[in-house]
Amino acid sequence: MARRRHDEEHESHERWLVSYADFITLLFAFFVVMYAISSVNEGKYRVLSDSLVSAFRSQAPSSLSVIQLPNQAQAGTPQRIAASAVTRAPELEAQARKMRGMAGDIRGALGPLIEQGKVRVTQSKRGIAVEISDSVLFDLARAELQPASVTMLRTVAELVRNTDNLIQIEGHTDDQPIRSTQFPSNWELSAARAASVVRLFADNGVEPKRMVAIGYAEFRPVEPNGSVDGRARNRRVTLNILADNKDEVAILPTEVPRPAGQ
């Protein structure tokens, strides 16, 4: 008898689902890329790149370059910022050394007054602050420099004369009102005292364009005005030798100083 032929295997009619699934996956990936491009953010590109690599396993995520758009602004990219930071590192270190050296020179020149508590030299990221009691510089309610203080200020001027640092000179008073013909309020007195120091610095070779005089009156005390000692501490002139010259000196925020050795 003739052998009975095996029934032919049925052809699968669902093979198209494989191609369809691949098409949908690629379409999904395309729209994800388009969505990411709509908001230029390099962080999103890196996440997207790593996700696609992990999904398709075509290569290791760490070896995939970040997607870059031709018109993407380069100045703010993390790579550019990191490179800039590396480039500026030696410059910042040199600047820090210069500021530490300048603070040491000022402390050495004003050593006796520092020991008496009449002068304080502090250093912070903002720069060097030289706080001078008004009793060293002025007579009570006056803005003319005492002869003895001129020599001391000339010494400081010589130390900063050949630098390019901006200098902000602040005048401060206590909260006791003053109503003289020359100074109707503490605003005028504090500003005039700061201007006297600026003028002396300019007369001793410090470029005027590097300096600014500011009067704060009684509104930035460092001690409570309830005691004689507190009011004496608040009557002061502060020389701020700024470390960063990129900003206008008059608008830089005040930073609480710390000892220069720290």
| Residues 217, 187 contacting (CB under 8 angstroms) | yes
Q: At 258, which amino acid appears? A: R
Confidence at 5, pLDDT banded by 50, 70, 90: low
pTM (two decimals): 0.62
DSSP string, 239-254: EEEES--SS-GGGPPP
Query: CA-CA distance, 47 to 45, in Å (whole number)?
Result: 5
Confidence at 16, pLDDT banded by 50, 70, 90: confident
Query: CA-CA distance, 149 to 180, in Å (whole number)?
Result: 24
- Give the three-class secondary structure for 148: helix
Query: CA-CA distance, 8 to 112, in Å (whole number)?
Result: 111
- Give the three-class secondary structure for 96: helix
Q: Tell me: the pLDDT tens digits for 211-248?
A: 999 999 999 999 999 999 999 999 999 999 998 754 44
* Half-sphere exposure for 91 (CA within 13 Å, toward CB): 7
The distance of Cα 125 from the centroid of its chain, to the nearest Å, equals 8
| Residues 161, 204 contacting (CB under 8 angstroms) | yes
Rounded mean pLDDT, 47-75: 54
Q: Which of 70-84, 101-115, 152-166 has the lowest mean pLDDT?
A: 70-84
144 exposure class (CB count in 10 Å sphere: 0-12, 13-18, 19+): exposed
Query: CA-CA distance, 30 to 28, in Å (whole number)?
Result: 5
pLDDT tops 50 at residue 254: no
Enumerate the domain spans of the chain.
16-63, 93-259
Query: CA-CA distance, 137 to 178, in Å (whole number)?
Result: 18
| Residues 103, 123 contacting (CB under 8 angstroms) | yes
Confidence at 71, pLDDT banded by 50, 70, 90: low
The per-residue pLDDT for 261 is 46
When the candidates are 3.40.50.720, 3.40.50.970, 3.30.1330.60, 3.40.720.10, the CATH number that belongs to 93-259 is 3.30.1330.60
**Sheet containing 127-133: which strands, arranged edge to edge?**
211-215, 167-172, 236-242, 127-133, 119-124, 258-259
pLDDT tops 90 at residue 40: no
The per-residue pLDDT for 27 is 85
Query: Distances from the Cα of 208 to the Cαs of 13, 165, 247, in angstroms?
Result: 89, 12, 17
